[in-house]
Chain A
Amino acid sequence: MDPRHSSLRSFALSLPAIIAIAPFLGACFYIFRFSVSGESGRISGFSLQAYFELAEPFFLRSIWVTVKLAALSTLVVLILAVPIALVIASVRGAVVRRVLTVTILLPMILNLLIQSYGWIILLGPSGVLNTALRESGLISRPILLLFNETGVLLGLIQTAIPLAVFPILSASRAISREYLEAASSLGAGNWRVFYDVILPLLRPGLVSAASIVFAYNASAFAIPLLLGGRRVQMLGVAIRDMISPLFNWSGAAAAGMVLIVITTGVLLLATWLINRSTRTPKSTGTSAPLQTGGGA
């Protein structure tokens, strides 16, 4: 019996996994169906009412805050993640590598509550930053860093760094040492090599990292909930409020669809950009965000 060809067996082997993912697909469909429901409390009939009701200043401002914070955090995360990825790619010692792995991976895996506690302690009215500023006489009253956009932005940056490091690191495998040696032996300085050789080769990884970080932060929930309070209404929190105090189920579903369109739109755009740029030359070993996902 040849293990190579047996579509029936392949199907049988895939079946348990398909059953396991079925509730997820059901949930995706359900949220879409609810968003076009004729009534706000249950599924009945068809109507685009829930979408029309979203066109009010509160929700539009929420979209704006979400896109703004996601874009800003993506920019900062990329600036920090490129050097980290380059340094990790160069590390050889096993112990250093292990320490770096834990430091980078922990924020991605660790319970977001715990990370928020850290920021609350640091940025709160009696936190270390305010105390230091007050003792140095720069401020007389505590400045508000928490429960506004600054606190949320810091939290978003910190939790998304690992998501950006992984794709950039895998893109850095396309950079062979010979390129760099060739460039510097021809007289290019460090910055020149970085801009003309390293950055272009990292580009698929950068696009992938940027889209993943943007999508992840645009749909953030725990960080804006804990660090932003009620004042920073990113979409995730706004959607929760539609459900919890307001019981506007179809409105929440419609808002959810808007968020899905924003995030998948960015991911698809990035996938298209990468496929277009890697089709002509030989593959750089980086795949598009929809194939590599979060990285680890």
Chain B
Amino acid sequence: MFSSLFSTRGGSYSFVIFFLTTLGLLISALPVIVVTLMSFSAAETAAFPPAEYSFRWYEALWAQLSSDESSSAHSLGDAMFTSVLVAALVMLIATFVCVPLAYALVRGGGRVRAGMELLFTLPLVFPLVILGIAFLLIAESLALDLGIWRLVIPHVALVLPFVLRNCMSAMNGIDIEIEEAAISLGASWPRAFLDVVVPLMKPGILAGLIFALIISFNEFTITFFMYTIDVSTLPIWMYSRTVSSLDPAVLSLSVGIILVDVVMILIIDKIIAGRASLF
């Protein structure tokens, strides 16, 4: 229905629009393209574009992954495991708290709803550096031994806005009559909620789950302040490997992460498409 937002009749206008769009998309995608090409380089150095292509850096990565698991305290395997564990916990906790909240806000409405929505949007606009420092200060001055929770707690706060928004948009589409019908047919409220409302919210819940997973898995800034030798994630491992010079084996790991992210985005897009637009 928006087919004439930019005209196809030619002329300088269409040219400028297409030129800028192409430029913008190119800039967006450039780092990913470059990293992907470089990871297949056969050369020792990071000269781009590579003269020859090979899988040597993928083999190097595999060797690293299968060998050092027990040797060093800061190994790739450990970091990968922690990353996945943190992301999974964050995803489950954030969804578990947001589903009932979305229900309460959509059914409750009014002034409280606007205030709560604003409150749960704050982590999105709050500078991550400050958040990282603040959590670090708290953890240090209270001398808490939190283990993996020192990453899970800040990550949960970070993903709440995304999860809540997806749950609420799913909840908005559920008619109150459906629920009332279940109750008038004899279902208790908890049954009506769990057996009628939650299944109807499923697309929003799934989209929220994946958003939480993907954001936690890729998070760098807060983790940069909060990690310890025992609790450290994949982005921190990559940072420690590339702080002085670029190790091409890290680039092949990056391609793996890019693939995971692309698949996740496609899944979210598929879940949301048709109901509401992703944007």
Contact = CB atoms under 8 A, between A and B. Distances in A.
B157 A23 contact: yes
B160 A267 contact: no
Interface of chain A, helix or strand or loop or mixed?
helix
Interface in A260-275: 260, 263-264, 267
B118 A290 contact: yes
Interface in A147-176: 154, 157-158, 161-162, 165-166, 169-170, 172, 175
Contacts of A157: 27
B67 to A, nearest CB: 23
- Residues of B in contact with A, size category: 35 or more
A4 B107 contact: yes
Contacts of B6: 83, 86-87, 90
B28 A106 contact: yes
Contacts of B122: 24, 28
Contacts of B129: 219, 221, 235-236, 239-240, 256, 259
Contacts of A48: none
Interface of chain B, helix or strand or loop or mixed?
helix
Interface string B11-50: 1111011101101110111111111001000000111110
B63 interface: no
Contacts of A166: 279
Contacts of A4: 107, 176
A249 B137 contact: yes
Contacts of A175: 2, 5
A131 B34 CA distance: 15
Contacts of B25: 84, 100, 103-104
B5 A180 contact: yes
Interface string A96-126: 0010111111110111111111111110101
A60 interface: no
B221 interface: yes
Nearest to B255: A114
22 contacts: A3-B180, A7-B108, A14-B116, A17-B164, A21-B123, A23-B154, A28-B122, A30-B137, A86-B6, A90-B6, A106-B261, A110-B261, A112-B218, A112-B220, A112-B221, A117-B35, A122-B48, A124-B46, A166-B279, A180-B4, A221-B127, A256-B133
Interface of A: 1-4, 7, 9-11, 13-14, 16-17, 19-21, 23-24, 26-28, 30-31, 34, 42-43, 79-84, 86-90, 92, 98, 100-107, 109-122, 124, 126-128, 131, 154, 157-158, 161-162, 165-166, 169-170, 172, 175, 177, 180-181, 184, 189-191, 193-194, 198, 212, 215, 218-219, 221-222, 235-236, 239-240, 243, 249, 252-253, 256, 259-260, 263-264, 267, 289-291, 293-296
